[in-house]
């Protein structure tokens, strides 16, 4: 049949053009030619839907809405890597290798891509399944979302049945465009390309994943030996010959001096790449020597990851701006000559307080050194006095609030200066931003820029005004279209049903964080009951001390607060605790009683807040970092250094499923969707 023959020709052409563009980076036709053939393919497939196969280029554009992600057991565990932070660590690794396999060893050095570890399964050369790493043994089935990554071939050039491992990532340019679009729409920005990639691959709407322009590098097969190769480097060459995308910046090194030269080269050149790397991976090149070295429970003995030190750059501190937080604290912020560091352009950095500025001798006009804590948060770590030319100016905090001109005060035992005017417009605006934030009322679409617009247009003066916003008003705002306005109003309406602890945290009572808000909500059940509590009643509650109790009593002694409560109630905002109650086991010790628990990695069935609440209900205390005092680490997908630290310290590591065993039946059913 002539039309079917034409269909097969177009399909093969598109697959070849896609490979040239996305894998070889060497397109042979213009985009317009590709688009023309794609449109012809889509027209034929619309006419003959029964001709469509899984390897059709049309499956790349997404559109399927998934019900959820099922679990996948890897044929062979996807191990994590032990870390090295300096030359000494690497030399120690090399010594252990030489002691086992001899002096005549060679290493494959590869860039460590900062993305999401995934596996691809092919049967007889056809793409069958894609999955996340998960806990190394069990991951999530993200087959359809991975299908939208154009550099993943749907058909290998030879009919191998293999499981390939690699790293999915978001190129820097795609990340920049995504955040620009999210900022325009008032959504929360992704912190870095890695988070954006992970979030994209966990979208239930595959069309969203397709729009994110992800990419991939493949770096291993679950068992290279099945492919008849003897060296890891030959295995990577074979992957490339099959049509799989590998990273070309790899190098075989015969000596540690060559390894160190490779590391030094890419430490300097990493910012020139269009994707983030956070280190260098060192692997024994001989597959037989890899088998001889063997594996630990979670990491191979034949490979190690060298992690880059925090990047430091120099720039000029042009001026210092003052920001007023929702509690009135005035924080100085450095405005910098924009500089590219650790994957993003930085133009602002916190200076914390005046004492720190003077302690580090930082002056306006100074050349300063910037680094990103954890490659995320920019910080001015020191000035370079030798670069001064006499034009630099010593900074002093003002005596009056820059927003309302009220006198700034320094409260006892505090370093920061504070504006104590309750009608300070800057504090009101920051309070609104806090109220709609993720851990408070979680109103999606109400980012800082949208709140600022609403406030400056005088559409909102306090949190109650959020619940009377109209479509007409919102459409008047810059960059707010019909769809984004509808979504925002739906999110505002949805927030009315939040459990009390979210509202309580959102109100911004001084010293009351998210954990204390939940404790208070469980204890008093309603906002009305809490508002009548005495200091004595409050301090009887565990973790509620004198300072917090005084703050709560003072807050509810204000008539304006009770007016606010009445107005929120009239607007339909829930004021009752609707979350899970603590387990009632007076006759037995709770499973986490007295234990310090650390959560790390991506949880798939619980939100981080729900997991935290469950642990606290069962008597545990959730900490943010791993130490010798930690009793249990609960590790989700892509758990990083916290899990590694736990392994080194011999701390028990649970999976998310282990935690779910302790869920109350009601909550378990809600999670399962019954």
What span, in angstroms and rounded, lies between the C-alpha atoms of 95 and 88? Answer: 10
Q: Return the domain boundaries, the chain.
A: 2-61, 83-307, 312-409, 425-570, 596-672
Average pLDDT over residues 463-471: 92
546-556 and 559-570 are packed helices; what angle lies between their axes, rounded to 10 degrees? Answer: 70
**Does 578 score more than 80 pLDDT?**
yes
Q: Which of 60, 65, 54 is nearest to 203 (CA)?
A: 65
Q: Are 205 and 121 in contact (CB under 8 A)?
A: no
Q: Roughly what angle, to the nearest 10 degrees, separates helices 425-435 and 448-456? A: 140
Residue 32 above 90 pLDDT?
no
Asked whether residue 217 carries a pLDDT value surpassing 50, the answer given is yes
pLDDT, tens digit, 9 for 90 and up, residues 478-492: 778 888 899 999 999
The conformational region for residue 445 under phi > 0 = left, psi -120 to 50 = alpha, else beta, is left
Sheet strand arrangement including 126-132: 126-132, 116-123, 162-169, 215-221
Q: Is 270 helix (H, G, I), strand (E, B) or coil?
A: helix
Length of the chain measured in residues: 674
pLDDT digits over 373-419, tens only? 545 568 898 999 999 999 999 999 999 999 999 888 887 667 778 88
Which long-range contacts (C-beta less than 8 Å, at least 24 apart) are formed by 227-235?
227/160, 227/162, 229/287, 230/286, 230/287, 230/288, 231/285, 231/286, 231/287, 232/108, 232/283, 232/284, 232/285, 232/286, 232/287, 232/290, 233/108, 233/285, 235/287
Residue 164, beta-bridge partner list: 120, 221
pLDDT at 390: 94
pLDDT band at 343 (very low <50, low <70, confident <90, very high): low
Contacts of 135 (CB under 8 A, 6+ apart): 635, 636, 637, 639, 655
Find out whether 197 and 208 touch, Cβ atoms under 8 Å.
no
Q: In whole angstroms, what is the distance from residue 246 CA to residue 481 CA?
A: 41
Q: pLDDT at residue 527 above 80?
A: yes
Q: Which helix (H) or strand (E) holds 358?
A: helix 354-359
Q: Note the pLDDT of residue 671.
A: 39
Virtual CA dihedral for 649, 651, 657, 662, nearest 10 degrees? -160
The residue-averaged pLDDT of 164-172 equals 93
Of the candidates 26, 25, 402, 43, the one whose C-alpha atom is nearest the C-alpha of residue 10 is: 43
Q: Which of 109-123, 187-201, 257-271 has the lowest mean pLDDT?
A: 187-201
pLDDT at residue number 121: 94
Residues in CB range of 188: below 8 A, 6 or more apart: 182, 438, 447
Q: 133: how many CB neighbours lie within 10 A of its CB?
A: 24
Side-chain half-sphere CA neighbours of 124 within 13 A: 1
Alpha helices (H) in 395-447, listed in sequence order = 425-435
Q: Do the strands 215-221 and 251-253 form a parallel or antiparallel pair, or are they unpaired?
A: unpaired
In this prediction, residue 629 has a pLDDT band, given cuts at 50, 70 and 90, of: confident
At 398 the pLDDT is: 92
What b-and-e string marks burial along 500-523, b requiring 16 or more CB atoms within 10 Å of the CB?
bbbbbbbbbbeebebbbbbbbbbb
Nearest-10 Cα torsion for 157, 160, 166, 168: 50
Q: Compute the distance between CA of residue 372 and CA of residue 353 in angstroms, rounded to an integer.
A: 18
DSSP state, residue 249 = T
Helix, strand, or coil (residue 111) = strand
Q: Which residues of 394-427 are buried (b: 16+ CB within 10 A; e: fewer)?
A: ebebeeebebbeeebeeeeeeebbbbebeebebb
As a whole-number percent, the residues of the chain with pLDDT over 70 amount to: 90
CB 638 within 8 A of CB 133: yes
| The predicted structure's pLDDT at residue 61 | 61
CATH of domain 83-307: 3.30.470.30
> How many Å apart are CA 527 and CA 614, to the nearest integer?
22
Bigger pLDDT: 183 vs 290: 290
Residue 588 has pLDDT above 70, yes or no: no
Q: Round the average pLDDT of the chain to a whole number and report it.
A: 85
- Kindly report the CATH number that applies to the domain delimited by 2-61: 1.10.287.610
Q: Which pTM was predicted?
A: 0.51
107: tokens are: 């290493």
570 labelled catalytic: no
Residue 19 or residue 300, greater confidence: 300
Detail the DSSP E strand segments found in 34-161.
71-73, 83-84, 107-113, 116-123, 126-132, 138-140
- Separate counts of helices (H) and strands (E) for the chain: 25, 22
Q: What's the pLDDT at 654?
A: 85
Task: Report the side by side order of strands in the sheet with 277-284.
Answer: 83-84, 303-307, 277-284, 107-113, 251-253
Question: Which candidate in 11, 112, 155, 429 is catalytic?
Answer: 112
Paired sense of beta strands 632-635 and 417-419, if any:
unpaired
In words, the CATH class of domain 312-409 is mainly beta
Least confident of 48-57, 269-278, 294-303, 520-529: 48-57
Q: CA nearest 154: which of 119, 198, 121? A: 121
Domain 425-570 maps to which CATH number in 1.10.150.20, 3.40.50.12780, 1.10.4030.10, 3.40.190.10?
1.10.150.20
> Nearest Cα to 510, choosing from 471, 564, 555, 462?
555
Instruction: Measure the CA–CA gap between 324 and 422, rounded to whole angstroms.
Output: 12
**CATH no. for 596-672:** 3.40.50.10190
């Amino acid at each position: 049949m002539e039309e079917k023959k034409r269909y097969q020709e177009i399909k093969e052409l598109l697959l070849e053009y896609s490979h040239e563009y996305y894998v070889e980076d060497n397109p042979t036709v213009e985009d317009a030619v590709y688009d023309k053939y794609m449109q012809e393919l889509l027209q034929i497939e619309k006419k003959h839907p029964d001709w469509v196969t899984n390897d059709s280029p049309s499956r790349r554009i997404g559109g399927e809405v998934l019900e959820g992600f099922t679990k996948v057991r890897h044929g062979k565990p996807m191990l994590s890597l032990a870390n090295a932070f300096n030359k000494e660590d690497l030399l120690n690794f090399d010594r252990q290798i030489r002691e086992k396999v001899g002096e005549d060893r060679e290493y494959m050095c590869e860039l460590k891509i900062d993305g999401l570890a995934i596996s691809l399964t092919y049967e007889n050369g056809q793409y069958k399944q894609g999955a996340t790493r998960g806990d190394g043994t069990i991951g999530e089935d993200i087959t359809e979302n991975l299908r939208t990554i154009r550099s993943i071939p749907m058909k290998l050039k030879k009919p191998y049945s293999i499981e390939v491992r690699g790293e999915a990532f978001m190129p820097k340019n795609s990340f920049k465009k995504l955040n620009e679009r999210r900022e325009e729409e008032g959504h929360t920005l992704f912190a870095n390309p890695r988070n954006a990639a992970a979030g994209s691959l966990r979208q239930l709407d595959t069309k969203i994943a397709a729009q994110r322009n992800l990419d991939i590098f493949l770096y291993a097969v679950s068992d290279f030996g099945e492919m008849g190769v003897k060296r890891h480097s030959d295995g990577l060459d074979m992957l490339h010959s099959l049509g799989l995308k590998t990273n070309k910046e790899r190098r075989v090194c015969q000596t540690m001096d060559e390894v160190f030269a490779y590391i030094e080269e890419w430490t300097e050149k990493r910012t020139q790449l269009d994707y983030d790397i956070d280190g260098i991976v060192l692997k024994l090149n001989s597959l037989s020597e890899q088998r001889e070295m063997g594996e630990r429970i979670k990491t191979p003995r034949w490979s190690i990851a060298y992690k880059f030190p925090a990047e430091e750059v120099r720039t000029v501190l042009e001026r210092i701006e003052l920001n007023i937080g929702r509690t009135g604290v005035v924080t100085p912020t450095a405005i910098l000559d924009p500089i590219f560091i650790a994957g993003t352009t930085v133009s602002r950095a916190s200076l914390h307080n005046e004492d720190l500025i003077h302690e580090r001798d930082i002056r306006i006009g100074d050349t300063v050194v910037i680094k990103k804590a954890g490659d995320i948060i920019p910080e001015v770590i020191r000035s370079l006095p030798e670069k001064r030319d006499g034009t630099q100016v010593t900074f002093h905090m003002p005596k009056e609030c820059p927003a309302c001109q009220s006198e700034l005060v320094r409260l006892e035992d505090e370093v920061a200066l504070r504006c104590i005017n309750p009608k300070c417009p800057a504090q009101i605006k920051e309070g609104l931003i806090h109220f709609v934030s993720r851990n408070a009322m979680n109103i999606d679409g109400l980012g800082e820029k949208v709140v600022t617009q609403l406030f400056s247009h005088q559409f909102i003066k306090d949190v109650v005004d959020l619940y009377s916003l109209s479509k007409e008003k919102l459409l008047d705002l810059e960059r707010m279209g019909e769809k984004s306005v509808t979504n925002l109003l739906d999110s505002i309406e949805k927030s009315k049903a939040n459990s009390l602890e979210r509202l309580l945290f959102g109100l911004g009572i001084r010293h009351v964080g998210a954990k204390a808000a939940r404790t208070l909500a469980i204890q008093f059940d309603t906002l009305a009951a809490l508002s009548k509590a005495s200091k004595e009643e409050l301090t009887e509650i565990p973790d509620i001390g004198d300072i917090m109790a005084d703050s709560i009593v003072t807050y509810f002694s204000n008539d304006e607060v009770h007016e606010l409560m009445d107005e929120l109630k009239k607007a339909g905002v829930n004021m009752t605790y609707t979350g899970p109650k603590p387990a009632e086991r007076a006759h037995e010790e709770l499973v986490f009683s007295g234990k310090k628990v650390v959560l790390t990695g991506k949880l798939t069935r619980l939100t981080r807040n729900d997991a935290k609440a469950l642990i606290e209900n069962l008597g545990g205390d959730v900490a943010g970092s791993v130490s010798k005092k930690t009793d249990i680490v609960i590790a989700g997908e892509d758990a990083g250094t916290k899990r590694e630290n736990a392994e080194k310290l011999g701390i028990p590591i649970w999976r998310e499923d282990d935690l779910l065993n302790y869920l109350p039946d009601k909550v378990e059913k809600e999670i399962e969707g019954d």
